Chain A
Amino acid sequence: MISFPISINEGARLLAEIEQRSGQRLSACYQCGRCTSTCVAAFAFDYPPHRLMRLLQVGMVREVLASKTAQLCLDCMTCSMRCPMKIDVAGVIETAKAVADEAGLQDTERNVRLFRRGFLNNVRRHGRLHEAGLLIWFNFKTNNPMNDVKLLPLVLRKKNFHIFPPRIKNRRQVRRLFREINGSGKQG
């Protein structure tokens, strides 16, 4: 059941925050569904992109923030490219993801969130991605240390899998970049 007026719950506040941070006008969406038609990941979502936009329009923000969609979106931006109303749909989903993380509203797709956190911390620390470090960290964090170990000989033979962290010039500037974007550098 959807109830109006939505100002009686926190929906309106969160909605305003998503609109403001994403810079998108949700009311412009007329539900043509083109975003969903082009989405490559929608099979894994609980709400396809157009439905997510509609839920936001009617103030069902909690459902959106707690959704798998917000976590599983690949940020491929196809929906944003194709939207006839020029709405950056991926940007809206991305913002919903951030708002959800900050508000601690997420309890789904724990591994996805963990991987994202590890990925960004890894880049912040080394200046660029250290795949081996990330994978080992992730395997231990998820209590599955032998995950994908069978693939090790294969990737070693390809010679682009480095055991030691990469060294780049001026790692500090990358860290400053992270700081300037959002202070803590913890979320995506």
Chain B
Amino acid sequence: MIGVFICQCGTNISATVDTGKVAQAAAAMRGVADAESIQYACSDPGQAAIAAAIRHKRLDRVVIGACSPRMHEATFRRALDRAGLNPFMLEMVNIREHCSWIHSDVDQATEKAAGLVRKGIARVRHHLPLSAGKTAAVRRALVVGGGIAGIQAALDIAAAGIPVTLVEKSPTIGGNMARLDKTFPTLDCSSCILTPLMVEVKQHENIELMVNSEVDDVHGHVGNFEVDIRRKATCVDEKKCSGCMICQEKCPAKAPDDFNAGMGQSKAISVASPQAVPLVASLRKEHCRRFSGGKCRVCQKLCPAGAVDYGQQDEVVRQSFGAVVAATGYGFYDWTGAYPTYGMGLYPDVITSLQYERLLSASGPTGGHIRRPSDGAEPRQVVFISCIGSRDESVGRPQCCSVGCMYIAKQAILTKEHIPDSQSYIFYIDMRAGGKNYEEFARRAQTRYGTLYIRGRVGKIFPRWGKLVVMGTDTLVGDQVEIEADLVVLATGLTASDGAGGLARKFNISCDENGFMAEGHPKLKPVEAEAAGVFLAGACQGPKDIPATVAQAGAAAAKVIGLLSRGELETSPMVAAVSQSKCSGCFKCRDVCPFGAIEDERPAAGRTAARVLASLCRGCGICSAACPPGVISLSGYTDKQLLAEVVAALR
């Protein structure tokens, strides 16, 4: 006894598909006891109507023609369950995304919808009751990335009593936020609000902090990810080092200063910043004299704690996790290759916004005094250019970086505060100040701090008599603009961070065309990755500012806590099963299985057969397709079901 329910979805479906006719056509099919059209099947009254039909007409299987199963399959399974039917006796037919939304001709769309429903009815006849299993979940979470997103997520998860491992690839946590001077729109000192959180991570009993570490390899699935974490050799024993920085002071080998975005210089062995957490030195072999053939061992000799160990090797640690939060943050667009007319990085006084941030910062290379790189002079005329590598299809980057407008306004304000007789100019295309108090903040940059906003893109920058001439346009006046600048700051756009793509592949997270990790649903699953048990926090999912990052990290943590708080997870019953008596033991299935879910077994003496480990099987069906004698079947997707569908479609 089959019940067929055709949803009108308001006018989403009924405007293009005559749902009444579809229901009529369905009613004529063998085994259909009830077929009706419902205004909103997912609504309370809609579900009640389905439940009532199940009870009164003794339905034992249900076809619902509505939206995508990704949207509402779970809803209707629950409805069946409540009505006393096995929840897996449901077949959803997508007549919205696959029909009404993409067609305009009512007759043809109706015919197609009726055909799709016919397929569904043919398939549901072969449905069998299934039941979900349970599997234990490891009560430990992995957070990858130690920026503000990772820090917030780790703290929130740890606060719920769930142990967390926080993995950070660089020598200190804090990420990009630790390099910022002030934050918009309140001008809070960035490190003043971040450092306490960094210290809390270090001290929290539920958080294991692993810096200089990266995810090497991942096995398993939601509830039980087995992750190999590589702790890179830094030649410094983290437990012994006290962060006294004597080694950094005495090290004779200069090295680029990564923390200061290349402004100023560091040493081969160094502590990333005075506020680093953990406050531990690390040695970069590529810059060290000893590792480039020399005999220097100054740091080892002078270290009062005896923490320097040149023989240290990478160490791989394997840990199990129930859930994972990816918080890999963002990087800055490398403009030097793409904007030849801005000097390609050849003019020392054309710098990026992050470099300027380090010049503003009291912990930066100039101690918080704005000095331009070329001659150390204090700039008077400062030009900011927005949308570098953003909203620029000619360099393949159409997206808005979403924070540039605001951070430039902030930097212009700070410039005026540092140098009261300076003048800042901002070349912009549109000013985007959507957040709370953002518009007022950007307006203040103009009215109170005298920043001149010039609408237009800059054409070129060239040096002239010790200054930089910026050639642009003011589209509001309709004329060219020429500015003799002392310093030019480029507001480079945000990119996915280095290595985010590799990590995404390891956890089966899909990425969008810009390299940012894709959320499960743009509206309703903003923190869930497509892979079960993997969550996204912060700018790894897309450019965002600090408040949005912290909010998303909290949301991701809540999801992790929700997932792991019960201690066990429901598993999908739609897994593969081998009919062992017919298995020839060729193990093609084992070769193709992406989840390592097939093992060999000896059901009788003298022969081996494949067996599916239900807890690892994700129901992808590859084994079933690959099996030469065709003896592996996937519950819910049996050959019978699929063939019935095909036959119905071809009729």
Which A residues form the contact surface with B (CB < 8 A)? 1-5, 25, 27-28, 30-31, 51, 54-55, 57-58, 60
B476 near A54 with CB under 8 A, answer: yes
- Chain A residues with CB under 8 A of B452: 4, 27, 57-58
Q: Which 10 A-B pairs rank lowest in CB-CB distance, beginning with the nearest?
A: A4-B483, A2-B481, A54-B476, A27-B446, A27-B447, A1-B480, A28-B447, A3-B482, A31-B476, A5-B381
Question: 19 A–B contact pairs at CB < 8 A?
Answer: A1-B481, A1-B482, A2-B479, A2-B480, A2-B482, A3-B483, A3-B484, A4-B425, A4-B481, A5-B380, A5-B381, A27-B446, A27-B452, A30-B443, A31-B455, A54-B476, A54-B477, A58-B452, A58-B454
- What is the CB-to-nearest-CB distance from B280 to chain A, in angstroms, rounded to a whole number? 47
Complex Cα–Cα for A1 and B479 (A): 6
- Chain A residues with CB under 8 A of B479: 1-2
- What is the CB-to-nearest-CB distance from A7 to chain B, in angstroms, rounded to a whole number? 8
A27 near B425 with CB under 8 A, answer: no
Which B residues form the contact surface with A (CB < 8 A)? 380-381, 423, 425, 443, 446-447, 450, 452, 454-455, 474, 476-477, 479-484
- What is the CB-to-nearest-CB distance from A45 to chain B, in angstroms, rounded to a whole number? 15
- Chain A residues with CB under 8 A of B446: 27-28, 30
B474 near A58 with CB under 8 A, answer: yes
Interface residues of B, dominant DSSP: strand
- What is the CB-to-nearest-CB distance from A176 to chain B, in angstroms, rounded to a whole number? 38
Closest to B449 in A: A27
Complex Cα–Cα for A30 and B476 (A): 10
Complex Cα–Cα for A2 and B478 (A): 10
- Chain A residues with CB under 8 A of B474: 2, 54, 58
- What is the CB-to-nearest-CB distance from B646 to chain A, in angstroms, rounded to a whole number? 61
- What is the CB-to-nearest-CB distance from A149 to chain B, in angstroms, rounded to a whole number? 45
B477 near A60 with CB under 8 A, answer: yes
- What is the CB-to-nearest-CB distance from B477 to chain A, in angstroms, rounded to a whole number? 6
- What is the CB-to-nearest-CB distance from B35 to chain A, in angstroms, rounded to a whole number? 57
Closest to A59 in B: B452
Complex Cα–Cα for A25 and B446 (A): 10
Closest to A4 in B: B483
- Chain B residues with CB under 8 A of A30: 443, 446
A2 near B477 with CB under 8 A, answer: yes
- What is the CB-to-nearest-CB distance from A92 to chain B, in angstroms, rounded to a whole number? 15
- What is the CB-to-nearest-CB distance from B425 to chain A, in angstroms, rounded to a whole number? 7
Complex Cα–Cα for A81 and B110 (A): 57
Complex Cα–Cα for A55 and B454 (A): 12
Given contacts A57-B452, A58-B454, contact A4 B476 (CB under 8 A): no
B481 near A5 with CB under 8 A, answer: no
- Chain A residues with CB under 8 A of B447: 25, 27-28
Closest to B445 in A: A27
Complex Cα–Cα for A143 and B534 (A): 88
- Chain B residues with CB under 8 A of A60: 477
- Chain B residues with CB under 8 A of A4: 381, 423, 425, 452, 481-484
Closest to A47 in B: B477
Most buried by B among A4, A31, A57, A58: A4
B483 near A5 with CB under 8 A, answer: yes
Complex Cα–Cα for A3 and B455 (A): 15
- What is the CB-to-nearest-CB distance from A107 to chain B, in angstroms, rounded to a whole number? 22
B454 near A5 with CB under 8 A, answer: no
5 more A-B residue pairs beyond the given contacts A2-B479, A4-B481, A57-B452, with a C-beta to C-beta distance below 8 A: A1-B482, A2-B482, A3-B481, A4-B483, A4-B484
- Chain B residues with CB under 8 A of A28: 443, 446-447
Complex Cα–Cα for A4 and B484 (A): 6
- Chain A residues with CB under 8 A of B423: 4-5
- What is the CB-to-nearest-CB distance from A67 to chain B, in angstroms, rounded to a whole number? 13
Given contacts A4-B381, A58-B474, contact A27 B450 (CB under 8 A): yes
- Chain A residues with CB under 8 A of B483: 3-5
- Chain B residues with CB under 8 A of A54: 474, 476-477
- Chain B residues with CB under 8 A of A5: 380-381, 423, 483-484
Complex Cα–Cα for A5 and B480 (A): 14
- What is the CB-to-nearest-CB distance from B79 to chain A, in angstroms, rounded to a whole number? 52
Closest to A28 in B: B447
Complex Cα–Cα for A5 and B476 (A): 18
- What is the CB-to-nearest-CB distance from A27 to chain B, in angstroms, rounded to a whole number? 5
Complex Cα–Cα for A54 and B381 (A): 20
- Chain B residues with CB under 8 A of A31: 455, 476
Complex Cα–Cα for A50 and B548 (A): 36
Complex Cα–Cα for A120 and B479 (A): 38
Complex Cα–Cα for A125 and B480 (A): 49
Complex Cα–Cα for A25 and B448 (A): 9
Complex Cα–Cα for A1 and B483 (A): 10
Closest to B473 in A: A2
Closest to A60 in B: B477
- Chain A residues with CB under 8 A of B450: 27
- What is the CB-to-nearest-CB distance from A49 to chain B, in angstroms, rounded to a whole number? 13
Complex Cα–Cα for A25 and B444 (A): 12
- What is the CB-to-nearest-CB distance from A186 to chain B, in angstroms, rounded to a whole number? 33
- What is the CB-to-nearest-CB distance from B466 to chain A, in angstroms, rounded to a whole number? 15
Given contacts A4-B425, A27-B447, A28-B447, contact A55 B477 (CB under 8 A): yes
Complex Cα–Cα for A9 and B483 (A): 14
- What is the CB-to-nearest-CB distance from B275 to chain A, in angstroms, rounded to a whole number? 37
Closest to A54 in B: B476
Complex Cα–Cα for A60 and B425 (A): 16
Closest to B480 in A: A1
Most buried by A among B476, B480, B482: B476
Complex Cα–Cα for A57 and B381 (A): 16
Closest to B442 in A: A30
